[in-house]
Structure 1
Amino acid sequence: MATKRPKSVAVKAASATSGLMLPTFHESTTSSGLTVLAAQRGPLPLVAVRLAVRAGSAVDPQDKHGLADFTARLMRRGTARQSADEIDEAIEFVGASFAVGSNEDLLSFYVTTPAEHFPAMLSLLGELVREPSFPEREVELARERALAGFANDLDDPSVIADRAFTRALWGKHPYGHDVGGSTAHVRTFTREDLVRFHRERLGPKVALLSVVGAVEPGLVAEEAEKAFGAWKGGPDKPEQPPAAGKIASGRILLVDKPDQTQTQVRLGGPGFRMGHEDYFPSAAMNNVLGGGFTSRLVNEVRVERGLTYGINSYFDMLNVGGVFAISTFTQTERTREMLDVSLAEVAKVRESGISAAELKKAQRYLAGLYPLRTETNESVASVIGDIRVHGLGDDWVEKFRERLFAVKPKQTQEVAAKYLFAKAPLIVLLGKASAVKKQLKGLGSVTVVPASDYE
């Protein structure tokens, strides 16, 4: 008896003067409730698959930080029917690849495969997602590797500074812990924790499958039903993290690492959520300030003063909030100079905005860079998924340049006044505390903590 092909609806990309277009994609839903987006795209006989599940680190249990990431990575290490070695052999035999990614909002599973093996590889992905067995020995080995990794992180000042920055910025909010967790939490992980998290948090109704490449959309819908139609578990709708609330500001956290000859510097304050109306003027403004290699911060801090090899400013946007931040490093004895110069450049843009010429240059740069996000099947699959998961609108790519070029100088000044440290920023420094602290007079109270707190 022939399998009934699920109904699919074509979603045609909107036209735009920019000429930047996504391929037409077809939307269908499996009997289990999984949304499927398929776009046929050549000429190479390859297919890229992304399964995005709304179960990132923000839904980690309070006493099990890192469990979402840990669970996702263990799902490849065995199923009810195959061992980890058998899974690896099946993937390698057909020349496919499999990867897992995680962030605060999402777990993502990626498959790239020759088109002729697409049905088999999608079936394997379905097996991994529906029925991971989490073998006890694999859990033990993964836990040991993770703990060793945390210990090694103490030798990487940039990693520790980022970890301290995240915790200080977000506090007790679900975004306020490292995606991978910490030694104290990961040490407690058990197989039962993974089984429970998989059952309660991963499911078809909080997931999105995007498939792009040399495969007919009808076949994608049919194979998705075979692979995921029996998928059960998970919530009926995504759990939205609480509102971002108040982002930390006006304090200085000094992480002591006495062996350092350089200071890691992080500055941060409130930003905005993914898809916010301020995105386009903020992107252009930030490119001028510190988002590009020819930015004001790079010119003043690196070129003119030789304070660092690298500095950048950025907006980190998540589902329910975000931050504006600056990341850099400098010689221990020049820490205060770095802070003063960086904050002065930020203040100039906050108070006066950017020039019309700078705006035009930023617009041309960003408009030229964006098409790189749609060059490969993998990137298109990710973009399509992000558009739907974050509610950006199906015309996001097509109208990207149009919306970018519509930004006026006044708008960049407005977002600069709003986000460029209108209040004193959070300052996180990692370095030799005895040498750094005495440079911080007049900046506010300083809290000193050992680097080992962030293992």
Structure 2
Amino acid sequence: AGIADRVVRAQAGSIALGDADAASKTANPAVPLLTGMLLQEGSARRDKVAISALLDSLGAQLLFQSDGGYVGIRGQCLTKDLPTLIDLMAEQLRQPAFRPEELAKAKTRLEAAVRNAGENPSVRATEALYRSIYPDSHLNAPVPRERMLEAIAAATLDDIKAFHRTYYGPAHMTLVVVGGADPGRLQSTVTEAFAGWSGGKALVRQSPPPKASQADTQRIAMKDKASISVMLGQAIDLRANDADYLPLSAAVNILGNGFTGRLMAGVRDKEGLTYGIRASLSGLSLMDGGFFIASSFAPPLLDKGIASTRRILDVWWKQGITQAELDARKDGMIGRHQVAMETTGQMAAMIAQTVLQDRPLSDLDTYSERIRALTVEQ
């Protein structure tokens, strides 16, 4: 075999699930998650042990993850094994075994994950904030914990099979392969692997009407916690493919990304009130997202920490950023983008995300140019 056959190929992709998120929140919100989990637990042809043994023998990986409106796909293998990996991916997507004993195990794991998340102050704060700003049918709105636990217990194998029949299919599936595979041979492999499979629904990108904007403070009591997690935020009428996304992303980066961000420099380094604080944009891939500040404080420093955070936020909001700050951030943003494209796996994931966000692939090539062109006025 030549060196080309020993080069690692990576694949990434997604299957759109249409209105599954909103529909399942009304019916059973655990079903999409359990369906995605069971993809890993064997097919009609092979059980999970046989699949794992095959992947191990190839030194390959293949993972599926349900995430709101779509199912994410991640894979990695050598060039010579790419047809085998694609065949296996198609087998698991098209013919999942959905065995009762595996559903019982998946329920146990999902219940444990939900309960463990409930013990995390940061998770609890994030969930409370998201529920306060997003309507229940929004992709970013989390299901209340007790509701999810009830849904896990109530989910049946028939529910999962019906969900798979209704929402899974190749009609709106994206598959990205990076690493030099022959395009013609790859197309033939994919066509053969998925021949005869139909169905699938387009992503829902229309955001439901937002909740009325109003100032609100929520406090959640948790025992035996050494620190207090604080989330500030708001919904914004913006998503990743909007023209204003990149300028706002740069401004938020200056406010609260890393040790040179204003929040870390002020709240942590200057005043010593927190170990960590960060500002970010989130949840903008498919629907309108939000602007958030996440931090944690020791109980005696809580009020001072929040006051300091609000002062810095207020100055940023009213006065904007400086030219010097923007110039300093441009190189960092460009560098992180380039690092994120260094490996075949990272590149495949970036391309798949770009497609998912309904952005042109040229955005990846022009990112550096567009960052350098940003102005303070934007």
Q: Is the 8 A contact 1:211 1:381 kept in 2?
A: yes
Aligned pairs for 1:79-90 within 5 A: 79-90=43-54
Q: CA separation of 1:294/1:247 partners in 2, compared to 1, >3 Å: closer, same or farther?
A: farther
Equivalence for 1:357: 324
Q: Is the 8 A contact 2:277 2:293 kept in 1?
A: yes
Equivalence for 1:172: 136
Q: Is the 8 A contact 1:130 1:232 kept in 2?
A: no
Amino acid at match of 2:68: E
- Secondary structure at the residue paired with 1:409? coil
2:184 to 200, 203, 218: 218
1:267 to 209, 232, 237: 232
**Displacement of 1:238 after TM fit?**
3.1
Equivalence for 2:113: 149
Unaligned runs of 5+ in 1: 1-40, 412-455
- Secondary structure at the residue paired with 1:81? coil
Q: Is the 8 A contact 1:102 1:179 kept in 2?
A: no
Aligned pairs for 1:39-438 within 5 A: 45-55=7-17, 58-59=21-22, 61=24, 62-175=26-139, 176-177=141-142, 182-235=148-201, 237-243=202-208, 245-246=210-211, 249-271=214-236, 272-316=238-282, 317-411=284-378
State how far apart, in whole Å, the 1-side matches of 2:127 and 2:112 are.
17
Amino acid at match of 1:270: A
**Displacement of 1:241 after TM fit?**
4.7
TM-score by length of 1: 0.77
Amino acid at match of 1:209: L
Q: Is the 8 A contact 1:44 1:214 kept in 2?
A: no
Q: CA separation of 1:91/1:104 partners in 2, compared to 1, >3 Å: closer, same or farther?
A: same
Q: CA separation of 1:99/1:163 partners in 2, compared to 1, >3 Å: closer, same or farther?
A: same
Q: Is the 8 A contact 2:229 2:296 kept in 1?
A: yes
Q: Is the 8 A contact 2:247 2:374 kept in 1?
A: yes
Q: CA separation of 1:395/1:230 partners in 2, compared to 1, >3 Å: closer, same or farther?
A: same
**Displacement of 1:42 after TM fit?**
7.0
State how far apart, in whole Å, the 1-side matches of 2:91 and 2:367 are.
37
Larger relative contact order (Cα-Cα within 8 Å, sequence gap ≥ 6):
1
Q: Is the 8 A contact 1:173 1:244 kept in 2?
A: no
TM-score by length of 2: 0.92
Over the matched positions of the two proteins, sequence identity in percent amounts to: 24
**Displacement of 1:179 after TM fit?**
11
**Displacement of 1:394 after TM fit?**
2.1
Equivalence for 1:417: none
Q: CA separation of 1:247/1:346 partners in 2, compared to 1, >3 Å: closer, same or farther?
A: farther
Amino acid at match of 2:349: S
Amino acid at match of 1:322: G
State how far apart, in whole Å, the 1-side matches of 2:299 and 2:243 are.
39
Amino acid at match of 1:118: L
Q: Is the 8 A contact 2:133 2:211 kept in 1?
A: no
State how far apart, in whole Å, the 2-side matches of 1:179 and 1:199 are.
27
Q: After superposition, what is the alpha-carbon deviation per residue over 1:106-146, rounded to whole angstroms, capped at 9, x for unaligned?
A: 21111101111111111000000111121010001110121
Higher helix share: 2
**Displacement of 1:43 after TM fit?**
9.4
State how far apart, in whole Å, the 2-side matches of 1:349 and 1:210 are.
39
Q: Is the 8 A contact 1:247 1:270 kept in 2?
A: no
* Greater mean deviation of Cα atoms: 182-191 or 129-138: 182-191
State how far apart, in whole Å, the 1-side matches of 2:246 and 2:264 are.
22
Unaligned runs of 5+ in 2: none
- Secondary structure at the residue paired with 2:232? strand
Q: After superposition, what is the alpha-carbon deviation per residue over 1:5-41, rounded to whole angstroms, capped at 9, x for unaligned?
A: xxxxxxxxxxxxxxxxxxxxxxxxxxxxxxxxxxxx9
State how far apart, in whole Å, the 1-side matches of 2:206 and 2:36 are.
20
Higher strand share: 1
**Displacement of 1:168 after TM fit?**
2.3
- Secondary structure at the residue paired with 1:282? helix
**Displacement of 1:223 after TM fit?**
0.4
State how far apart, in whole Å, the 2-side matches of 1:408 and 1:75 are.
47
- Secondary structure at the residue paired with 2:279? strand
